[in-house]
Structure 1
Amino acid sequence: MTTLLHYCALVRSKNAGPFTLTFDFMCHDEDSYKALVATGFLNKQLFATLFNTDPDKILLVNHPLALAVKVSLPRPVVQGSLADTDCYAGQQYAPLMDMEVVPA
């Protein structure tokens, strides 16, 4: 089974302010980057489904010079609210780690 760790040296999630969640997928090398992007695995619909949000509110940017993909979306709850279970958003990437990366 191929996972994100096959392509990425670093996968992380974090806050981009109290209302936005962001993900960084930093690839091992140029070949890994090109292969990951070619799969189409990292797409707006995936994040819309996982985080129950509108795909039109998701920003997905490929950064070929940095060998990285960045995804930003509205946080499910505002940072620091009573319903916030991950104040720094550092654990939001975890569900992606066990998913099989297959071409779209």
Structure 2
Amino acid sequence: MKIKLIDIAEVIRSKNAGPYELTFDIIFKEWEMFNMICKAGVINKELIAGLYKINVEDVINVIEFKPAKAIKSTIKRPFSSGKLGETDVYGAQQHAPLLGLEFDL
């Protein structure tokens, strides 16, 4: 069964986690889907690294945050916030690659 992340998530967002890191939050609508995705382990460091075209070592963490029905991930920013050439000072527009995710479960 193919499942689109945008269909099962209430919130998909990105934001600064300091000037050198970006964090991504995926907050699920239902416990059933949250638990299914967590059990399958499909949102992991390798997936995030692939989506953002970075080394796996640059993915700081991917954690399941059960109190919020959420999966959180943090990566090293390719450019520090506000650095010349950086295009999103607040990191609020970096979640776009997550929007196209589909899973076979």
Please name the residue that 1:61 is paired with: 63
Aligned positions of 1:1-104 closer than 5 A: 2-58=3-59, 59-103=61-105
Q: Do the aligned partners of residues 40 and 102 (structure 1) sit closer, same or farther apart at CA in structure 2, a change above 3 Å counting? A: farther
Identity in percent:
33
Change in Cα spacing, 1:68 to 1:62, as seen in structure 2 (3 Å) is same
Output the CA distance in 1 between the equivalents of 2:104 and 2:93. 23
TM-score (norm 2): 0.86
Instruction: Give how far 1:54 is off.
Output: 2.7
User: TM-score of the superposition, structure 1-length normalised?
Assistant: 0.87
User: Post-superposition shift, 1:85?
Assistant: 1.2
Deviation at 1:19, TM superposition (A): 0.1
Identify the structure with the greater strand proportion. Answer: 2
Q: Is the 8 A contact 2:23 2:72 kept in 1?
A: yes
Give the residue type in structure 1 aligned to 2:92: G
Give me the whole-angstrom Cα distance separating, in 1, the residues matched to 2:45 and 2:82. Answer: 25
Aligned-partner Cα distance in 1 for 2:98–2:104: 13
Cα root mean square deviation, aligned: 1.6
Gaps of 5+ in 2: none
Deviation, structure 1 residue 86: 1.2
Q: Work out whether residues 26 and 72 of structure 2, in 8 Å CA contact, stay in contact via their aligned partners in 1.
A: yes
Preserved contact between residue 25 and residue 70 of structure 2 (Cα < 8 Å): yes
Runs of 4+ in 1 over 4 A off after TM superposition: none
- Is the CA contact 1:14–1:89 (under 8 Å) kept in the aligned structure 2? yes
